[in-house]
Amino acid sequence: MRGIFLDDERYPKDVTWIKYPENVEWFVVRNSSEFTDQFWQLMRTGEEYIVSFDHDIQEFIGKIELTGYSNLKGMLNAIQYYGSAAPKCYFHSMNPVGKENMEAYYNNFVDFYNKEWEK
């Protein structure tokens, strides 16, 4: 299985507080552009993948901060638009508010999305 690991400084081996599945081929990405490129590559393959998000990735466009949360929202919007399966997501951020916001957004999306798929 492949995985996207979005973090501006850490690597998957540094995240000891989450138990990831075994045998994940991680693609470590440091910014939104790299995240988007890897996401679309995996979307095109149609294979199962996972994603692990940091919240604070120290990326700005002018005064606008790009975060793991903004990348999560963009990914889920694309998944909904194309009718693809949502990947299992992990949130390894040390920012408690950012982590909670990402988890809530993801869980709400998955709950809604799965109910729509059942119709």
Query: Phi and psi for 115 in degrees, rounded to 5?
Result: -65, -40
Task: Identify the residue whose tokens are 């081996």.
Answer: 13
Average pLDDT for the chain: 95
CB–CB of 4/49 below 8 Å? yes
pLDDT digits (tens, 9 = 90+) for 52-104: 999 999 999 999 999 999 999 999 999 999 999 999 999 999 999 999 999 99
Is pLDDT of 117 > 80? no
User: Which pTM value belongs to this model?
Assistant: 0.94
